[in-house]
Structure 1
Amino acid sequence: MAGNKLINNRDPDFSDDSASSGGDEAEWLDVEPEEDEPLAIVSLLDDSVFPDVMSMLTHCKEKHGFDFLALRQRLGLDFYGTVKLVNFIRQQIHDGRPLPETITLETIADDRYLKPVVDDDALILSLDELDLDDSDQEAVPPVADDVSREDLAALNARLAEELAAVNSQFADYRLAVEETLERRWGDDKRDATTESDEAKDESQYYWESYAANEIHETMLKDTVRTDAYRDFIYENKALFKDKIVMDIGCGTGILSMFCARAGAKAVFAVDKSDVIEKARANVYQNGLSDTITCIKGRIEDIDLPVPQVDIIVSEWMGYCLLYEAMLPSVLYARDKYLKPDGLLVPSFATIWAAPVSDPEYITDHVSFWDDVYGFDMKAMKTGIYEEARVEDLPPSTICGQPSQISHLDLHSVKPEELNFRSDWQSEVTQQVESIDGFLIWFDIFFTRSRQETIPWGTSVDPSSPDSKIPSAVAFTTSPRGPVTHWKQGLLLVDPSKGILTAEKGTRVSGEIIFEAPEENPRALGISMSWTTKDSERRQTWKLQ
């Protein structure tokens, strides 16, 4: 995955704002149904759609052997009990779990089943089509031939009261559902103070940014990325055959479908973003619903219907590898679900840093502000040396030997080790006027087993004669490789504290720190110190 709120000056055609908002805006247009449009009743047990409740229930009984009305009658459910039963069934099917052999009142006792699983569930909105006045009320005795007029009047009054109570219950619940729908369509006018007091997911913006099509189109068209996963999975079908696989952050479902086509017995595709609904449709359209189960939610908040999985596949990488902080979720799933000999796909990641000199870039994007059509706009340079940039620099801009700063064995690395500090050193390899900044990139390795390791210093640099990859599949985001949507992270050196000069052969060394800020764990802070024979400096940049 990749972030979508970063400076990206060399790719004007890709707008991150459009990825995070434009697509959503388009999707919300013309969604409100016409007033007289009939509701479509989605089956409780599959994706079939029906014009009324009874035809749907008949379908469930004839095709799946599930008699909803008989179960409701056996449990003696009133209106709210019926709502709980509907939502319990919806939740089980949504989570990919089979219904219990015996459903009891205790099974649906939790009040959380009063909350609709499907916000606009036409079945719940149409429960008035069912005869709900014979639920858990005291059974009405048959009327004897010699019943008195007074007794008959009392019986009629009681039935009228019970019917009124059921209608009132339904009206209250319909109102609650309508309020939920209003909030969904953005029509809720609740007091701002009340809303600000509600607990919010601090990462909600992150999930929302992945609901639009543009960002997924960008990632899918990154052939370096997508081909690597496809090639590893398809070239190692023996690893996937009859295995249980989990895909974390499944997005459109592409990796899950690769695994299913490779012979996986079951694939659980998990994503918190609303894109999961499109993934579910993609899976269905490609005839893979029997193998792939799509589950919406954070991996930390859901329970899989299986205790363990054989393989975890995930495309969790962000800019500079660790931006977006998705890897901790993968490690959480690894520790909770992956079998002791299970495989993580990919298995290893390394991070590299190198000094760069690019006078043309500085002229185009920094000095540019000194004179804009004859106007001094130096004010626009405020903060320009504090934020990391995402760029694809030419290989010729690298003016020193790359230095490896991190080596992650994903089968054993701990979440706390993702905030790290590392020594680095480089030797300037060409004569340059100044070192303008430092470039960060990463390499990714796919291995066939835990026994296959990637030693420290292994590079995927296609131009290096020492590049020997003991791995089935690997790729790099280095400028010396094909461009990827991750590009590289560019850390510009602030010249106000002195020009960083270095002759060919000069050794530059220091320390680099990667750390996610507490106030925004999805962001990334990078600090670097460096020493040459002439100077000693430290600078900090932000990815946010």
Structure 2
Amino acid sequence: MEMNISQSDYFTNYEDLEIHRLMLEDDPRTDSYRRAILENTSYFKGKVVMDVGCGTGILSIFCAQAGAKKVYAIEASNLSNLATNIVKENNFEEVIEVIHSKVEDVKLPNDMKVDAIVSEWMGFYLLHEGMLDSVLVARDRFLKEGGEMFPESAVIYVAPCSVPQLYNKWTNFHGVALSTFAKQLRASKSSKPEIMQISPEDLLGAEVAMAWINLREDTVNDLNSYSIQHVVGSSKMGQYQGLCVWFECNFPQLSSESRIILSTGPEAKLTHWKQTVILLPEEQNVEEQEPIAFQLDMNRDVNSPRRYNLELTLLDPEEVDHPIPCTCDMTKCILMKTVMLQHALNQNNIIEDEIIEDDE
């Protein structure tokens, strides 16, 4: 299962203004960056910042509004011309310097280092389009020791789900039964991820973190592959039709009162990333607490570094390790939860006895 984008098309695609309109109007996305920057004005004041893949330049302008003394706005596509005009429109041409170049080819005057790097590099399921590589290259070349990354970390989550909006309507479509069509549709979609919105009530189990990415420390090679093998008890009776994948990004908590997190999960406000769903070729009916076991592998394509291959493998819950504690109804997991609960009760009794003795 894969999503394709060629190296030659990548920068050309980002000259499409509709893509930037979509991103700008994504309020959770844009407002998370605005708050992460403007609520940390005491940090940004007087700092030198690099914006990797600046697009229209809005993040660079946020940094200038927060008091940065210099912002290097790097943009490889021809959108750099528009960014330059937007910077002038906002009267920040003395602060923001738009550089039309790939960040890998940039040279700053006097081998200057920057205090912070900001970038909106995320793609579908976080890593699609592979722009994070360039951000890490910029970090290694330009970030001062102890400098800040905005965002500083990211997490990929997965959870089993139903997808009723794709299939349920075909059982009675204008009075015609089209379940045969739905079955073929499901099979045809199982070779490519579906970008769509999943309702929280359509999740069939708690999410599990598949990958943690530390933008301060991880290398480009660390991004080559991720894998998780997991078992989760179904949270309700339903139809297991796919695996839902989403991400969240965490910004540094410097002078802001609370940590700002950009989430693209089903329970968060809808973003243009929506969620990524890996569809099963055939659905499975599951009972409440029935174990759902799977392995998900995410590997960078060796011939096209901006492409990842996603492979979902359905596993036999009898043959794989379960998390402790596990939410499924298999006997071994129920016994383990009982033992853990009894241990917790005993510990509480010991603590209460110690308190009583102290009072005496």
What residue number does 1:446 align with? 251
Q: What is the CA-CA distance between 1:285 and the residue it aligns to?
A: 1.3
Unaligned runs of 5+ in 2: 321-360
Which AA in structure 2 matches 1:443?
E
- Write the distance in 1 (CA, Å) between the matches of 2:170 and 2:277: 13
1:510 aligns with 2:267: no
Which among 57, 66, 82 is matched to residue 262 of structure 1?
66
Q: Is the 8 A contact 2:46 2:67 kept in 1?
A: yes
Query: Secondary structure of the residue that 1:321 maps to in structure 2?
Result: coil
The alignment's TM-score, normalised by the length of structure 2, stands at: 0.80
Q: What is the CA-CA distance between 1:492 and the residue it aligns to?
A: 0.5
Which AA in structure 2 matches 1:290?
E
Q: What is the CA-CA distance between 1:412 and the residue it aligns to?
A: 0.7
1:208 aligns with 2:12: yes
Q: What is the CA-CA distance between 1:281 and the residue it aligns to?
A: 0.5
Which AA in structure 2 matches 1:253?
G
User: What are the residue-to-residue correspondences of 1:105-504 with 2, within 5 Å?
Assistant: 202-305=6-109, 306-364=111-169, 383-418=188-223, 419-432=225-238, 434-448=239-253, 472-495=259-282, 499-504=283-288
Runs of 4+ in 1 over 3 A off after TM superposition: 363-368, 375-383, 532-536
Of residues 267-276 and 301-310 in structure 1, the stretch that sits farther from structure 2 once superposed is 301-310
- Write the distance in 2 (CA, Å) between the matches of 1:533 and 1:509: 5
Higher relative contact order (CA 8 A, sep 6+): 2
Q: What is the CA-CA distance between 1:301 and the residue it aligns to?
A: 1.7
Identity of matched residues, % = 32
Query: Secondary structure of the residue that 1:494 maps to in structure 2?
Result: strand
- Write the distance in 2 (CA, Å) between the matches of 1:273 and 1:317: 17
Q: What is the CA-CA distance between 1:365 and the residue it aligns to?
A: 8.1
- Write the distance in 2 (CA, Å) between the matches of 1:376 and 1:480: 31
Q: What is the CA-CA distance between 1:394 and the residue it aligns to?
A: 1.2
Query: Secondary structure of the residue that 1:287 maps to in structure 2?
Result: coil
Number of aligned residue pairs: give it: 313
Query: Secondary structure of the residue that 1:401 maps to in structure 2?
Result: coil
What residue number does 1:177 align with? none
Query: Secondary structure of the residue that 1:336 maps to in structure 2?
Result: helix
Q: What is the CA-CA distance between 1:277 and the residue it aligns to?
A: 0.6
Q: What is the CA-CA distance between 1:422 and the residue it aligns to?
A: 2.5
Deviation string, structure 1 residues 504-535 (Cα, Å, up to 9, x no partner): 11222333211121232222211122324489
Compared CA separation, residues 317 and 377, structure 1 to 2 (3 A): closer
- Write the distance in 2 (CA, Å) between the matches of 1:473 and 1:401: 23
- Write the distance in 1 (CA, Å) between the matches of 2:142 and 2:232: 41
What residue number does 1:28 align with? none
- Write the distance in 1 (CA, Å) between the matches of 2:83 and 2:7: 21
Compared CA separation, residues 206 and 510, structure 1 to 2 (3 A): same
Q: Is the 8 A contact 1:507 1:532 kept in 2?
A: no
- Write the distance in 1 (CA, Å) between the matches of 2:170 and 2:309: 22
Q: Is the 8 A contact 1:366 1:381 kept in 2?
A: no
Root-mean-square deviation over aligned CA pairs: 2.8
- Write the distance in 2 (CA, Å) between the matches of 1:438 and 1:482: 20
Query: Secondary structure of the residue that 1:486 maps to in structure 2?
Result: coil
- Write the distance in 2 (CA, Å) between the matches of 1:384 and 1:512: 17
The alignment's TM-score, normalised by the length of structure 1, stands at: 0.54
- Write the distance in 2 (CA, Å) between the matches of 1:377 and 1:396: 22
Deviation string, structure 1 residues 271-305 (Cα, Å, up to 9, x no partner): 11111110000001111000000011111122122
Compared CA separation, residues 535 and 357, structure 1 to 2 (3 A): farther
Q: Is the 8 A contact 2:253 2:260 kept in 1?
A: no
Q: Is the 8 A contact 1:309 1:337 kept in 2?
A: yes
- Write the distance in 1 (CA, Å) between the matches of 2:290 and 2:50: 48
Which AA in structure 2 matches 1:427?
G
Q: What is the CA-CA distance between 1:426 and the residue it aligns to?
A: 1.8
Compared CA separation, residues 381 and 501, structure 1 to 2 (3 A): closer
Compared CA separation, residues 311 and 524, structure 1 to 2 (3 A): same
Compared CA separation, residues 358 and 389, structure 1 to 2 (3 A): closer
Unaligned runs of 5+ in 1: 7-200, 453-469, 537-544
Query: Secondary structure of the residue that 1:247 maps to in structure 2?
Result: strand
Q: Which protein shows a greater Rg?
A: 1
What residue number does 2:338 align with? none
Compared CA separation, residues 376 and 323, structure 1 to 2 (3 A): closer
Query: Secondary structure of the residue that 1:245 maps to in structure 2?
Result: strand
Query: Secondary structure of the residue that 1:493 maps to in structure 2?
Result: strand
Q: What is the CA-CA distance between 1:348 and the residue it aligns to?
A: 1.1
Q: What is the CA-CA distance between 1:475 and the residue it aligns to?
A: 2.1
Q: What is the CA-CA distance between 1:414 and the residue it aligns to?
A: 1.4
Compared CA separation, residues 487 and 202, structure 1 to 2 (3 A): closer
Q: What is the CA-CA distance between 1:320 and the residue it aligns to?
A: 0.2
- Write the distance in 1 (CA, Å) between the matches of 2:185 and 2:167: 14
Q: Is the 8 A contact 2:50 2:116 kept in 1?
A: yes
- Write the distance in 1 (CA, Å) between the matches of 2:66 and 2:186: 51
- Write the distance in 1 (CA, Å) between the matches of 2:275 and 2:209: 15
- Write the distance in 1 (CA, Å) between the matches of 2:294 and 2:182: 34
Q: What is the CA-CA distance between 1:210 and the residue it aligns to?
A: 0.8
